[in-house]
Structure 1
Amino acid sequence: MATTVKVGAALMLLLALSSCGNTIRGMGRDTANAVNATQDAGHSVNRAARR
């Protein structure tokens, strides 16, 4: 029984760590996309102001 609990705990830990890694990578991509969108909006406003 103790071995089963230890193996289960190790598997849950691995799942949690891999989930965290995916979340961090996803947040990084989302942040980069937000920065790109903000820059594009700024360029659009700049072009519109020059007309």
Structure 2
Amino acid sequence: MEELNLEEINQCSGGYWQHVLTYMTLIDFAYDIGRGLGNGFYDGAHEPQIP
């Protein structure tokens, strides 16, 4: 079994956490957009504004 030096370990874990954080941010962003659209459609369908 090879021994990884500290720099390689930091690079690997850093890349992994960067990927996770980016993924979570995208999910949160998409969720907010979806929720906003959902509320907009819901309000439009259930509370029509009288022109």
Same topology, TM > 0.5 = yes
- Unpaired segments of 5 or more residues in structure 1? none
| Equivalenced residues, count | 48
Moved over 2 A (4+): none
> % of aligned pairs identical?
0
RMSD: 1.9
Q: Which protein has the bigger helix share? A: 1
**Deviations 1:8-47 (Å, cap 9, x if unpaired)?**
1111001111111111111110000000110011111224
**Is the counterpart of residue 15 in structure 1 residue 12 in structure 2?**
no
The unaligned stretches of length 5 or more in structure 2 are: none
